[in-house]
Structure 1
Amino acid sequence: MVLLRLDSLALSRSRFALSPAAETLGALKALSRPCVDPWLAPWHARHHAALRAALAADPFAEGLVRLTSSTKYLPDQVSLPPTGGMHTRLNDELALMCEVPDEDVVASVRLAVAASWEEHDVDSWLTGRNFAARTAELFRRTWDAHLAADWPRRRIALERDVTYRAGLLAAYGWPRALERMARRTAWTGADAIRFSDRPGPDRVVGPDGMLFVPYTGARGSWLCEAPGRPYALVYPARGSGADPSDSRAHAGGDPDRDGRAGLEHRDRRDRALGRLLGTGRAAILRTLERPATSSELAAELDVSLGTVGGHLAVLRDAELVVGTRVGRRVVYRRTEAGEVLATGMTWTTGERHDDGVDVADGADGFG
């Protein structure tokens, strides 16, 4: 079991951050293999073939991506902590990535191979030099081709996750804010976070604290570390960043087996909800699958703040949503009545209240 042991000042100085590089690594893993997450299916279908073709033309990139997708230890250059907080820029992350010496990359790749559950012929692709710069080029190409257009929407989803956890932090403290952050992550005792249930050395988090970095992947978390910088725990955000206009992103079940039935069920529910509440209020209720502020709702739905405020007032009066003040912000979430109306499912039991196809349980996101 690997523990992150926190200094007495660590929690008070820990904070959230964003990392376009972590988002890119998650995308490389997702696109390099068959899609297993229905809500990612439309994006995966658009980009999978192009990425596979690009990797096939670059043995170093193909070998590195295959390794990072099949190991419990990530090479140094792909797991660096972000340095810009919530405003981290990809260019800055790639510049730091390029500074990792070749010998460090080689040593960490060997460790990653030892921790992998697959066989890797490293000598066939770890050839030449400038490994970190070549990795940065892979990340840049992947970002430009497969992520840049989606980043504004994904960023909103990530910021909403931070808003949600910041609310828990303000009300209940760090143990509650970290709850269900990742499958194997849990608070242990008064001063430690369990990062993994596999054998490994503990890490000591010093007085500078650590970073918590959401990304829009459906599963998987990893720890980023570099000399002289705080540890960063990358974890799946509560939400996929999928395009809300593509109803396939919300359908549950196996996309090949029951995706069509899931789409029809979702479409029927959406049309009925729109007739009942009006399209604007129905859109807000659906979007509150994850808690959000009125500004975040306006940005995601591309409507004015005044329009969102009017719709929220009606939904509050109907006791379908409730707002909680967190500092200067008010974070809105669905009530249990709103949950049942929007999804047909309750928070407490996850039980469906209709005869349609199962849909994703929005109360806990996609973690």
Structure 2
Amino acid sequence: MAPTAYRHPLACSHASEPGAPAAHVDLLAALVNGDFTTPDFLTPRPESPQPRIRDELNGVVNLPTTSILKELDALWDGHLPQALRGPGWSVRSRVIEAIEHYWSHSFARFWVEHRSILAADIQYRATQMAAHGLAGALETLSPHVRLAVDQLTAVSRVGTSYAASLSGRDLVFVPSFFTLGASYPVDPTGPPMVIYPARGQRSTSAQPAPTGARGGHNLLSASRADLLGMLDGPTTTRELAASLGKTEQAVNQQLQALRTSGMVEASRSGRCVLYRRTEVGEDLLRMVRAHPAADHPIVEPVHLAGPHV
């Protein structure tokens, strides 16, 4: 949200987009103060290794308006920018609308590729922790993060530093494309979390992958739409094959085509490979269901909006 501060190409794409309303740009800029601090509700602690933007936005929607206003007031020490003034319900609505628009214009069409970079970073950190312990893993995040017994500290180069007790509490590592160094919650009494620059960012770009590379020529048939519709939660090939009355080999071929197109993602749990829809797949499925057409049973995969910051 502070494009000039970050090297990542996605960070500066929103303000330059012709479709970015000035009000949205002003509001997003107001969510970052002069110390590059943002309110904690914008960076919620993930509840799973692969959180989804809609779940995170729903978390903001369900927050008490007073909590949101309190965080914004603390962000600006009581001197709110004009973009954040007004009735609480209006401020909340405008914040969510701006974030959704920000996602749609700056992230949605790139997110499948970028998300894989974050997933790879999480695996790397897990390996580091297994080999060197929590303290050793923290040292690889940033030289400004330290662990002394059960006390986590982080020294900020521009804003308030951080100190939180880990006694009896889980620490969550969160890789990000949009932090210059270690970041952390504003409220040290909340669940401990460290946000840090993800490894491998230089291999990404703000240019969408070529259609052929993303499987754009693989069309979504009625059978693939049915398969996509069954992936509400993590599901195995065997479970899908049994439900559809097809062989596991046939279902696996369909899944791989959907995965190549960015509509399905896979994760391993023990010996099982679990598949589920991505946000790209959810948006495409929603579009197909909203506009069924017997004379157009095949729909070309596209990348639709699904907010995330």
* Aligned-pair CA distance for 1:169: 1.0
* Aligned-pair CA distance for 1:127: 1.3
Q: What is the letter of the counterpart of residue 191 of structure 1?
A: D
Matched-pair contact (CA < 8 Å) for 1:81–1:232: yes
Matched-pair contact (CA < 8 Å) for 1:220–1:235: yes
CA–CA distance in 2 between the matches of 1:208 and 1:46? 38
CA–CA distance in 1 between the matches of 2:151 and 2:197? 20
* Aligned-pair CA distance for 1:132: 3.0
Aligned to 2:178: 217
2:17 paired residue among 50, 60, 73: 50
CA–CA distance in 1 between the matches of 2:33 and 2:200? 21
Pair 1:240–1:217, CA change in 2 (3 A): farther
* Aligned-pair CA distance for 1:110: 2.1
CA–CA distance in 1 between the matches of 2:175 and 2:33? 18
Q: Give CA deviations for 1:291-340 in whole Å, capped at 9, x if unaligned.
A: xxxxxxxxxxx8xxxxxxxxxxxxxxxxxxxxxxxx99xxxxxxxxxxxx
Q: What is the letter of the counterpart of residue 132 of structure 1?
A: R
Aligned to 1:4: none
Aligned to 2:77: 114
2:141 paired residue among 178, 181, 199: 181
Pair 1:199–1:92, CA change in 2 (3 A): closer
Q: Does 1:192 align with 2:151?
A: yes
Q: Does 1:239 align with 2:182?
A: no
Q: Does 1:74 align with 2:15?
A: no
Q: TM-score w.r.t. structure 1 length?
A: 0.48
CA–CA distance in 1 between the matches of 2:206 and 2:31? 34
1:156 paired residue among 116, 119, 131: 116
Q: What is the letter of the counterpart of residue 214 of structure 1?
A: P
Matched-pair contact (CA < 8 Å) for 1:67–1:113: no
* Aligned-pair CA distance for 1:76: 3.8
CA–CA distance in 2 between the matches of 1:157 and 1:108? 31
Aligned to 2:53: 90
CA–CA distance in 2 between the matches of 1:139 and 1:245? 18
CA–CA distance in 1 between the matches of 2:73 and 2:51? 29
Q: Return 228-237 or 86-95, whichever deviates more.
A: 228-237
Q: Give CA deviations for 1:145-175 in whole Å, capped at 9, x if unaligned.
A: 2111111111111111112211111111111
Pair 1:242–1:149, CA change in 2 (3 A): farther
Matched-pair contact (CA < 8 Å) for 2:152–2:164: no
* Aligned-pair CA distance for 1:182: 3.0
Q: What is the letter of the counterpart of residue 77 of structure 1?
A: F
Aligned to 1:140: 100
Q: For 1:235, what is the secondary structure of its paired residue?
A: strand
Pair 1:55–1:62, CA change in 2 (3 A): farther
CA–CA distance in 2 between the matches of 1:104 and 1:47? 27
Matched-pair contact (CA < 8 Å) for 1:212–1:232: yes
Pair 1:132–1:210, CA change in 2 (3 A): farther
* Aligned-pair CA distance for 1:111: 1.4
Q: What is the letter of the counterpart of residue 176 of structure 1?
A: G
Pair 1:156–1:236, CA change in 2 (3 A): same
**Structural mapping, 1:286-297, within 5 Å:** none
Aligned to 2:233: none
- Percent identity (aligned): 22
Number of paired residues?
207
Pair 1:146–1:196, CA change in 2 (3 A): same
Q: For 2:175, what is the secondary structure of its paired residue?
A: strand
Pair 1:219–1:211, CA change in 2 (3 A): same
Unmatched 5+ residue regions in structure 1? 1-27, 247-301, 303-326, 329-367
**Structural mapping, 1:315-330, within 5 Å:** none
Q: For 1:234, what is the secondary structure of its paired residue?
A: strand
Q: Does 1:103 align with 2:83?
A: no
Considering Cα pairs closer than 8 Å and 6+ residues apart, tell me whether 1 or 2 has the greater RCO.
1
CA–CA distance in 1 between the matches of 2:106 and 2:144? 29
Q: What is the letter of the counterpart of residue 194 of structure 2?
A: L
CA–CA distance in 2 between the matches of 1:75 and 1:65? 12
Matched-pair contact (CA < 8 Å) for 2:32–2:38: yes
2:2 paired residue among 29, 54, 57: 29
* Aligned-pair CA distance for 1:224: 3.6
What is the CA RMSD across the aligned residues, in angstroms? 3.5
Matched-pair contact (CA < 8 Å) for 2:45–2:193: yes
Q: For 1:194, what is the secondary structure of its paired residue?
A: strand
Unmatched 5+ residue regions in structure 2? 208-259, 261-269, 272-309
